[in-house]
Structures are given as C-alpha cells and as structure tokens.
Amino acid sequence: MIHALEYFLAIAQVGSFSRVARARNVAVSSVTRKLDWLEAELAVKLLHRSSRVVLLTDAGEAFLPRARTILAELAGAREQMAALYADPRGLLTVTAPSAFGRRYVAPAVAEFLKKHPLVEIDLHVSDDIVDLVAQRVDVAIRIGELPDSDLLATRLASAHRSVCASPAYLAAHGRPASLADLLDHNCLTVGLPVPAVWWSFEGVNRGQPLPVRGNLRCDDTDSLLKALLGGLGICHMANWLVGDDIRAGNLIALFPDARPPRTMAPPAIHAVRMPGRSHTGKTQLLIDHLRQYFAALPSWDRDLTP
C-alpha cells in the first residue's frame, strides 16, 4: 500500500512511469503492477495512460491530496513511535487566541514542558488567524467552526456561549423576558463585523444574528468581560470565559436553554496542525497532552442555570 501510494504521487508529479522506475531503480512493470493494484483497491481509474503522456483522471485529482495526507500520517506515526524510545527535543511553535491562550493554553504548555524539558515552545497569544504554512506554526488553537482545509483537527473541548449580565445591570434596567427583548438593551459586542456565532439562536430571527446595539464594541474579550462585570450591559460570551463568574453569582445567565442555530457546526475548541510537517511526532505529543489536559478540567458549561 505504501509503495503504491508513493508511486502514484511520483507519477502524478513527473507524468511518467518510466522516469519513476528509473529514479527508484525498479522495473517499469513493477511500478505498473503497484498502480494497477491501487486502482483495483479503490475501484476507480486514477490515471489516463498513453504511449506519450500520463495524466490524472478526475478521480485521480480528487484522490491526490488524500494520498499525500495518508503518507504524511504514516510518516508521523513512524516518528511518534520512534519518540516513544527517545526524549522529544527541539522547537515547536504554537498559537492561541488571546484570552483563551492566557487562561488555559499557557498553563497547559507549562505542564507539558515540565514533562518534556528538552522541548522548547514559542507560544504566540493573539486573536489574529495565522497561516500555519507561511508562519511555520506547528499547532494552532482554533475556537468555533473550522473552515474546510487540509488542516488536521483534534477536538479539545466544547465552546458554548451564554447571554449574561451582572446583577447590577439587571437591577437598573430590568431582565429581558425573551431573546427578542435584547434589542431593547445595551448589548456589548466585538468589533464589526460581528461573528455569526454572536447573538445567533435557534428559532430566533430565522437563525440570523440579532441586530443588537450597544455603546461598546471591542476586539478584546477580556475588556468586554470587565465592562460586563461592571454593569455596563449584556453580552453573549463563551462559557470558558464567564462560567466561573456565573457560578460565583457575579453574572447571571439569562437564557441558559438557548442554543445556536442547527445550521451551525457544533461549537468546539480544536488544536489544528498541518499534515506532513517534520515535527509531527513532537506536535502530536503536545496535542495529546492538550486533549488530556482539557479532559481533566471541570466542564465550564456545568451549573450555569440561574
């Protein structure tokens, strides 16, 4: 299987069975047999073959990135197995959103480095969405729906949100009886454009974000949290950010049964990486650590009912 995939990728790159055979010092018939076997296994034709040219079929074009991913995963598995018998070492670059990175990723990384002191980590805490390839990032923490891409994602935790306000704000302005009543309140939100996950609820406004208004927009969620705790308005914030304050009574969850529209992907926090990077073994070791670290945390979604 591995040789067949390797031959397929090589032929797709150079467009010739004979050139691949010469490069690998094998007979052309051996390369042909491997490709015949692969096409039989997949029950599709991957290549158009003639005496002058070899071209990918539509099925071959579709299978090409999958073949790369499979081989990258196998290479990563080999590296990871080798790492079981050697202390991991070297540099990893990690990015995480600002507020979540400070609260949860930084302490998780510190625990990882205690276990693996020969590893070095460059941790970048920022709300910018980075290009993993261009900036040579090994692991990125992403919150919310993941766009379609070649990135490999590992789910770390849920990412539900709660509409909440401080007792002081509710005492001064009243408690909204329904989600639609939020339109009559001072709603704190992020800078424009507002992400679709904010103020979107199943069965409300046809699943589109409510057009709430308020006198504070900010691109820093910690700053919004301070304004929220100070009684300035109502906000729709992640439970990992406000859960402790809700349980302590500093904030009130106004609509604990509200859920995002069904058309949205289930909200979650993921660790993502590029397939085929040279640091695959160390990267997977860190991701496994993060998954175990977050699994051991108390759920920030628990006990948020008023």
Q: Is residue 144 in a domain?
A: yes
Answer yes or no: is 123 within a domain: yes
* Residues 212 and 228 both lie in one domain: yes
State both tokens at 82.
């080798």
Q: For the segment 27-81, what is each residue's pLDDT rounded down to a tens digit?
A: 888 888 888 888 888 888 888 877 677 888 888 888 888 888 887 777 777 766 6
Residues 136 and 110 in one domain: yes
**Residue 147 has what pLDDT?**
65
Residue 262 inside a domain? The answer is no
Q: What is the pLDDT of residue 175?
A: 96
Structural domain for 290, as ranges:
90-155+269-296
Q: Quick one: pLDDT at residue 80? A: 64
* Domain contains 101: yes
Helix, strand, coil distribution of the chain in percent, nearest 5: 45, 20, 40
Query: What pLDDT, in 10s, does the model give residues 280-298?
Result: 788 889 999 999 999 888 7
Band (pLDDT 50/70/90 cuts) for residue 14 is confident
Query: What is the domain-level CATH number for residue 208?
Result: 3.40.190.10
Spatial CA neighbour of 83 closest among 112, 116, 105: 116
- One domain, residues 147 and 228: no
Pair 52, 117 in one domain: no
Query: Quick one: average pLDDT of 106-129?
Result: 92
Same domain, 179 and 247: yes
Residue 205: name the closest of 186, 179, 176 by CA.
Answer: 179
**Euclidean distance between CA atoms 64 and 62, whole angstroms:** 6
Contact of 190 with 227, CB cutoff 8 Å: no
* Size (the chain), residues: 306
Which parts of 118-199 are beta strand (E)? 119-125, 139-143, 152-158, 161-165, 187-188
pLDDT of residue 148: 57
Is residue 304 domain-resident?
Answer: no
- pLDDT for the residue numbered 278: 56
Has residue 83 got a pLDDT over 60? no
* CATH number of the domain where residue 8 is located: 1.10.10.10
Q: Higher confidence at residue 79 or residue 255? A: 255
Q: How confident is the model at residue 251 (pLDDT cuts 50, 70, 90)?
A: very high
pLDDT band at 84 (very low <50, low <70, confident <90, very high): low
pLDDT at 89 (0 to 100):
80
Query: What is the rounded distance in angstroms from the CA atom of residue 236 to the CA atom of residue 199?
Result: 6
Q: Report which DSSP code applies to 258.
A: -
Of the residues 65, 83, 101, which one is the last residue of a structural domain?
83
Are 273 and 128 part of one and the same domain? yes
pLDDT band of residue 149 (cuts 50, 70, 90) is: low
Looking at the 3D structure of the chain, how many domains does it have?
3
Q: What's the pTM?
A: 0.67
Asked whether residue 305 carries a pLDDT value surpassing 60, the answer given is no
- Highest mean predicted confidence (pLDDT) among 145-149, 153-157, 184-188, 275-279: 184-188
- Band (pLDDT 50/70/90 cuts) for residue 104 is very high
Is residue 172 located within the same domain as residue 249?
Answer: yes
42 and 114 both lie in a single domain: no
Specify the amino acid at residue 212. V
Within 8 A by CB and 6+ apart from 189, the residues are 198, 199, 212, 214, 216, 217, 224, 235, 236
Question: Is residue 258 situated within a structural domain?
Answer: no
Provide the pLDDT for residue 46: 80
Q: pLDDT tens across 154-207, in order?
A: 999 988 899 999 999 999 999 999 999 999 999 999 877 778 789 999 989 888
Same domain flag for 192 and 207: yes
Write the CB contacts of 213 (distance below 8 Å, at least 6 apart in sequence). 183, 186, 187
Q: How far apart are CA 185 and CA 45, in angstroms?
A: 61
Is 288 among the domain residues? yes
**Domain co-membership, 151 together with 273:** yes
Within a domain: residue 182? yes
Do both 186 and 243 map to the same domain?
yes
